[in-house]
Every structure is written in structure tokens, then in C-alpha cells.
Structure 1
Amino acid sequence: MILSPFEWTIAKRYMLPGRGEAVIALVASISIGVVMLSVAMLVIVMSVMNGFRAELLDRITGLNGHAVVQAYGGRLENWEDVLAEVRDTPGVTRASPLIEQPLLGSYNGRADAIFVRGNTQEDIDRMRESVLLGDMSSLKPGERNVAIGSRLAQNLGIRIGETLTIINPQGRSTPFGTVPRQIGYTVTAIFEVGLYDFDERFVVMPIPNAQTLLLTGDTIGMIEVQTEDADRVDEILAPVTQRLAGKAVVTDWKQMNASLFEALQVERVAMAFALSIIVLVAAFNILSSLVMLVRSKTRDIAIMRTMGATRRSLLKIFVTAGSIVGAIGTLAGLVLGFTVLIFRQGIVEGLQALFGIELWDPSIRFLSELPAKTDPFEVLFIAGMAMGLSFLATLYPAYRASNTDPVEVLRYE
């Protein structure tokens, strides 16, 4: 829609009402503000929801793989053959043996539930980036050294170099019953991966040490599998599932965390729908401001009609005025939204300090920090929706203005 110099001049004049039109200017300013806030909220909320899902998926699959192969009964016999078979499957990028067992940890009279996790040396080395204190290289087979999560260390009050006693209820049998197995391990590293449950419960050691502690011999608990595409994990591992039917079960990340990710998806859709209504409200504000502008400018419109202005020119003038209000609000909303996303963690910490409340509780949110991941296509959709609704809101007032009858308006002038 190309405007002539006359049409553009009038449109600019109507976008900046004069002193006697303060109410119209106020309504137009409110319209810009509402569009700005609605676009910013949509961008922020959708980015945080996307970031939460992506970060949670990345952390979960980074620790437990995209899927696990677990034998019935919890002990995988002849696991070397199964491991080789899984590694040879097209689409599998990595497969590692793994042991996980819930036990009890004790230090200085304090006890807490823990998960003993036996990893290969390669997987232990991969965790070095998460180490806060100590050194993961000290975790060697045959040496009683372990790495523990940062929150577990806080709960027990244990530090580097001190001894954590791990209690296994499956101990040795005596005439007086089974005596739990208690072994002391030196804490040589404290890590933080960002998943609250993992940092609060897990104790990492080499697989041979975990087998000795749990008295499982040469068996393992499961095999964790990493694939080239997390969304196609069920398709990639379908041949493995068929070959291991009756011997082991293959569980992917979708099945292990189905309720969590389904809840996230439902919440994401609900929030997007609710916030989209705010954009609709902003469009109605633009409509109301233009209706008021048309009513206040009825005499001017009639005079322009008598001077030769066409209906099409008046239609273009008011559509342009309303669309520019929507465009300004949309651009301002995008700037505000991206600014909040950049400084999101500082804003959360500032609000927590100001009001003395915890807005982001890792024990509930699973992650230690507020994540965000912006999808360019979603941003374009949000901007397009705001601009589209703003444009639609201009059509009725512009139509009313273009159909003004100069004879009726100027009859008594």
C-alpha cells in the first residue's frame, strides 16, 4: 500500500493528535503500551518454556542417554554381547554400561538417601566440566574414591577429603541375620550438573567399585544409549527392541519422562493461548482509538472529501495510522522481550532480594537457573499475529471514515 505525499502527511498528522485531543493521544499511547507488553510477554514466556524443555531434555539425556536397555530383574547378564549389538545399530552414536542403585549415605551422624552410580572411565571423564571442587581423575577402579553432587554435600555437610559411608542392606549373612554392608569412601570431587535431583542424590564411582559394593559380580544394571536424533530414538532402537524381546526392555527418554514433558507441552499451549488473548485486547484498543479519532475528525474528513480526496485515500490514511501504532508497539515489545531474556537471571535474583521470596526453587523446577531458548519462527509468528490483528482493527474505523458524507456533515456549517 503506497501512500501519496498528501495521504502520508495527513496520516502523520493523525498519529500525533493536537493539544485538544489529549484523550485520543492517551488511548493511542495505551494501545502501543498494551501491544508492547503483550508481544514482550509472549516472547518471554514462549522462550522460557522452550528453554526449559530443551535444557531439561539436554540434561536428562546427557546423564541417562536417549534410552536405556535394562534386563528383567535389574541385572544384565552377558552384557558385553548386548553392548556390542547396540553399538552396531545404525543411528546409535554412543552406548555405555551403567549401574544405578538406591542406597543410604552417612557422614558424621547424618544420613541421607543416595543413588550410587557406576560409570565407565570415559563417562566419568565427560563429567569434568561439571566439577566444582576436587578432581574426577582420582576415581579409579580399586580405589575408594567417589564424586558427589553439590547439594548432597551441603545436606550432609561433607567436604573434599572426608569419608562418606555407604550402606548396602544386602550385606553378609550371620547367625543373627543379615548385617548391612558399610564401606567408607573418600570424597575427592564435588560436581554440579544443574539438575536438582541429580545434584542432591548421586554418588559417582567406577563400575568395578560399584560392582564390589553391590555384590553383583560382573553384571551391570543397564546400558545407556545415545542416538543421533533424540526425537527419533524409538525408530532408531526398534531393531534392538525386537531382538531383545523377552530378555531386556528398551526404555527411551519419552517413556521415562512422559508425564513431565506432556505437562510442559500442555502448559506451553495454554500459556500461548492465554497471552494471545492479550494481543487481541491490544487490537481492540487500537480500534477504539481510531473510532474516537474518526469521530473527532468528521468535519476535517468532510472538508477533504469536498476538496477532492477519494474514499480510497481516506481508507489508506486511517489504515496506515492504526497499522503504524501496531508496528511501533510490536517492535517495542520485541526489544523489551529480548532485553528481559538477556538479563533474566539477574532480574530473578533482584526480585528475590527485593521481596525476600524464592521465585525459582530448583527443588521444584529441576534446573538451577532460569533457562531460555528463542525460536525465530515463533518470534516471527508473534510479530505477524500482532501486526495482523492491528491491521484488522483498523478496517472498520477506516471504512467509517471513507464513507463519511460531506453533505450531511457540512449542511449546517
Structure 2
Amino acid sequence: MLLSRYERMIARRYLLPGRSEAFIAVVAGFSLVAVMLGVAALIVVMSVMNGFRAELFDKISGLNGHAVVQGYNGQLRDWRRIADEAKALPGVTAATPLIEQPLFASYNGRVEFAIVRGMRVQDIQSNATLKGKEILGSFKNLKPGSEQIAIGSRLAEALGATIGSEITIYNPQGAATPMGTMFRTVQYKVGAVFEVGVYDYDKTYIILPMEDAQTLMLLGDSVGMVRIDTSNPDKIEQVVGPLADKVRDAGQITDWRQMNRELFEALSVDRTVSFTILSIILVVASFNIISSLIMLVRAKTRDIAVLRTMGATRGSMMKVFVVVGTTIGAVGVGAGGLLAFFFITYRAQVVWAIGAVTGQKVWDPQMRFLTELPAKTDPFQTFAICAMALLFTFLATLYPAWKAASTDPVQVLRYE
């Protein structure tokens, strides 16, 4: 919207009302703050929701893959053939064997539920989710026959175990005796303590070499599943679809959507609801802009009439008040973006400060799955939020601007 020189001058004067219009300036300031808070809240919340989903997906898929071929009765005997056929599919980047079984772990009189996972040594050391996540010891200590394991940090805390501690793992599927099935108990030494950042994994997971897991669970050469990674997780059904007929006699395919459907659907609904509710702040800010502009028009009615008699057109008056309102919104959007950047950059400190003031644990890993508050800002989404705020602001200026343009100078100046 191009303004002439005198239109810019008038708009600039109306943006900074005099002392007689101090109340109008206060209302306009509230409008600016409301736009700022609305934009900042939307950007921060959407960034946190995006980061939460991305971080959770990366952690889950990093350990469980994008799909798994699960063997019937927990055993997959022909796993090498299945892994080779999976690798041959277009879009599949890796197919690795896994053993996973819920068991119990005990140390120093404490017993905890644990998920025991067997992986090949090279897969343990190359896994992106596990790499560099040791807080004590090293995954290099895990070798077939070494009787060493890696446990999650939360599980280590619950058991009171550390590097070198000898943990007993109980397998209910033990040897059959005249007195019934006896639990199979095997002792392992802790060779590493890891923390991947997902509370449930750090609280329950025990990782050991594939060969040791096969011995513990009496599987022979079998595994429990074959994990499949793809280059495009969003098209997982099309990628692994051709494999279904080839493995039908050995097991079934489950992809990441089926394994975590409820969780990701809940995140999607939460993100939509949060966006809708926080958008109301921008609507309220728009009404504030309408109110401040209407008061400004009423206060400047005589000035508008004089300008009209001096040759100012209706279009000029509309442009002046549209620019005044839109400028308030644009400054609010810019300030909101800066405020959002501050909160996202220092989110950990902000969460700590809120917890210190309220005395509450704002971010509880047991409820939030992740140990730290994540954030991932989407530039396109941020642009859309700013554009939406500017659009609301622009629409809010139309009625006051139309009222200013409709001012009849004859009626206003009749008794002057």
C-alpha cells in the first residue's frame, strides 16, 4: 500500500497521539502487547509440539525401526532370509535382527521389571540412538560371551547398580522339573550405563549381545524379530507392502504407525487444539485494535473533516488508518517473534525458573516421556503464524478506516 508524503506524515502523527489522547495510546499499547503475546505463544507452543513429536519419533524409530517382522510365538527362525529380502526392497536402508523380551532384573535385594534386548555387537555400536549415550562405561565392553550388559540410567538408579555390579536376570521360561518349570537365572556384570533421553527406555531397557540373549532365552539360532529402517517413514506401508506375502508363513509386519498409533494421534490432536485455543489471543488483540482505532477516529473527527475540505480523498483517509492499525500489528508480530526466539533458546532455564517460582515440577520425565523439553521451529509454520496475525490485524482496521473515510466534513464543521 503506497502512501503519499502527506499521508505518511498523518499516519506517523496518529501513531503517536498527543497528551489529550493518552488513553488511546494506552489501548493501542495493550493491542500491541496482545499481538506480541499471541504470536510468541503460538510459535513457542507449536515449536515445542513439533520438537516433542520429532524427538519422540527419532528415539522410538532409532531403537525399534520403522517396521518390524515379528515372529509367531516370539521366534523367527528363518530371519536371515527375511532380512535379505527386506534389504532388497526399494527404500529399505537396513534390516537387522533383534531379540526383545520382558523379564525381571535383580540386584542387592531389589527387583525391577526390565525389557531385555539382544542386538548384534556391530548394531549396538552403530545405532544412532545409542551412540555416545553412555554416561558410565562403554558399549565396547559388550562382547559375546563376556557376560556384560548395558542398562538404562533410570533402571540403574532403581536397582542401585553401577559399573561392575553383578545383576541377576530372571527368565520364567526355564527348565522343566518334576516340581514345575524353574526360573532360569543368569548373572551379568554391568559394562555400560546409557541414557537415550526417553524415560520409559532409560527405566526398563537392558541391552546385551545377540548370542548372550539367545542363550538366556533358550532360542538357539532364532531371533524375535527383524527391524526394518526406510528412507521415508511416511511411506512405510508402500515400502514394506511387497514383503508381507514373503513372510506370511513366518511372522507378521507391524509398522511404526501401528506400534505407536495412540501416542502420535494424541500428539496430533493436542497440537491442533493448542493452535486453535492460542489463536483466540490474536482474535482478542484484533478487537483491541478495532477499539483503539475507533476511539482514534472519534478523537480526530474534526481533523479528518478539515483534511477532507483541503482535498484529502476517502481513499487517503482509509489508507492512513489501515496503515496505523497494521503498523501496530506488525510491530507486535516482530516483538512476538523475538520473544518466541528468547523462550525457545532459553527454554530449559525458563522451565527451571517457573518451577522455582511455583515450587512445582513443570517437566516431569515420567509423564512427558522425554527427559528434556524439546523444540523444533518450522520456518514455514512460523511464517504462516506471522501472516495470520498480520491478516487479522489488517481485517481489524477495515471498519474504523471505513468510518474515517465516511466522515462528512459538512456535518462536522457546520457549527465551527
Residue 179, structure 1, aligned to residue 202, structure 2 = no
Residue 258, structure 1, aligned to residue 254, structure 2 = no
Distance in 2 of aligned mates of 1:84 and 1:70: 15
Secondary structure in 2 matching 1:193:
coil
CA drift of 1:72 comes to 1.5
Comparing 273-282 and 202-211, the one that deviates more = 273-282
Residue 282, structure 1, aligned to residue 285, structure 2 = yes
Contact 2:78 2:250 survives alignment (8 Å)? no
User: Which residue matches 2:385?
Assistant: 382
Paired residues for 1:67-106 under 5 Å: 67-106=67-106
Distance in 1 of aligned mates of 2:41 and 2:154: 33
User: Which residue matches 2:354?
Assistant: 351
1:321 to 321, 324, 331: 324
Distance in 2 of aligned mates of 1:33 and 1:246: 64
Secondary structure in 2 matching 1:84:
helix
CA drift of 1:235 comes to 0.7
Q: CA deviation digits over 1:165-209, x for unaligned, max 9?
A: 101111222232222111110001000001111100011000110
2:239 to 236, 240, 257: 236
Give the letter aligned to residue 16 of structure 1.
L
Residue 247, structure 1, aligned to residue 250, structure 2 = yes
User: Which residue matches 2:52?
Assistant: 52
Q: CA deviation digits over 1:333-368, x for unaligned, max 9?
A: 111111100111111122222322111111111111
Query: TM-score, normalised to structure 1's length?
Result: 0.98
User: Which residue matches 1:31?
Assistant: 31
Distance in 2 of aligned mates of 1:250 and 1:176: 38
Residue 167, structure 1, aligned to residue 170, structure 2 = yes
User: Which residue matches 2:313?
Assistant: 310
Secondary structure in 1 matching 2:182:
strand
Q: Identity, % of aligned pairs?
A: 53
CA drift of 1:281 comes to 1.1
Residue 208, structure 1, aligned to residue 208, structure 2 = no
Distance in 2 of aligned mates of 1:231 and 1:23: 54
1:295 to 274, 295, 298: 298
Q: CA deviation digits over 1:127-151, x for unaligned, max 9?
A: 2311111011111111110000000
Secondary structure in 2 matching 1:204:
strand
User: Which residue matches 2:411?
Assistant: 408
Q: Structure 2: state its 5+ residue gaps.
A: none
1:129 to 129, 132, 154: 132
* RMSD of aligned residue pairs (Cα, Å): 0.9
Q: CA deviation digits over 1:232-286, x for unaligned, max 9?
A: 1111000001222243111010000000001111111111111112111111111
Distance in 2 of aligned mates of 1:3 and 1:283: 23
Distance in 1 of aligned mates of 2:105 and 2:174: 15
1:399 to 402, 410, 415: 402
Give the letter aligned to residue 198 of structure 1.
Y
Distance in 2 of aligned mates of 1:353 and 1:163: 39
Distance in 2 of aligned mates of 1:164 and 1:290: 72
Residue 225, structure 1, aligned to residue 228, structure 2 = yes
Q: CA deviation digits over 1:32-89, x for unaligned, max 9?
A: 0000000000001111111111111111000111010011211001211111111111
Distance in 1 of aligned mates of 2:347 and 2:87: 41
Give the letter aligned to residue 332 of structure 2.
G
CA drift of 1:306 comes to 1.3
Q: CA deviation digits over 1:91-131, x for unaligned, max 9?
A: 11011100000111000000000011000112211323111
Give the letter aligned to residue 203 of structure 1.
I
Distance in 1 of aligned mates of 2:278 and 2:262: 24
Distance in 2 of aligned mates of 1:100 and 1:166: 14
Q: Structure 1: state its 5+ residue gaps.
A: none
Give the letter aligned to residue 65 of structure 1.
G
User: Which residue matches 2:5?
Assistant: 5
User: Which residue matches 2:364?
Assistant: 361
Distance in 1 of aligned mates of 2:325 and 2:356: 41
Distance in 2 of aligned mates of 1:147 and 1:368: 19
Report how many residues are paired. 413
Give the letter aligned to residue 388 of structure 1.
L
Residue 110, structure 1, aligned to residue 113, structure 2 = no
